[in-house]
Amino acid sequence: MLPVSVYWSKTAESDLLAIIRYINNNRPQTAKKILALIKEKTADLALFPERGRIVPELSAHGVTLYRELIIAPWRVIYRFSGNSVFVLAVLDSRRNVEDILLSRLISA
């Protein structure tokens, strides 16, 4: 399989920025490492777009278009379509993903 393009949604970029800012308040070096790790793992999707698992909370409702990478404690939710991967969200796995997604859909 040829490499695909990886695109970040504005929402996913905002999620990541909020995470990094929060960590940076107390641990700037850790924030840099986490940013690099998340960027590296999502860049790998260009070569292995189906590597992540289907999001279980969505699959339970018959929605199987979305996958996720677990970069503990975060979940990077994305969709693979054609020659593109779309990173849609970076969420804290300690929170209820269904509630977060529902609130985002309602406010959209």
Q: What is the CATH number of the domain that holds 94?
A: 3.30.2310.20
Alpha-carbon distance 26 to 31, whole Å? 9
Predicted TM-score (pTM) of the model is 0.89
The candidate with the shortest Cα–Cα distance to 67, out of 4, 19, 25, 2, is 4
Query: How far is CA 92 from each of CA 2, 81, 82, rounded to the nearest angstrom?
Result: 31, 24, 28
Tens of pLDDT, residue by residue, the chain (108 residues): 689 999 999 999 999 999 999 999 999 999 999 999 999 999 999 999 999 999 998 888 888 999 999 999 999 999 999 999 999 999 998 888 778 877 776 776
- pLDDT on residue 96: 80
Structural domain harbouring 29: 5-107
Count of domains forming the chain: 1
Q: Number of H helices and number of E strands within the chain?
A: 4, 5
The order of strands in the sheet holding 66-71 is 5-8, 84-92, 74-81, 66-71, 53-54
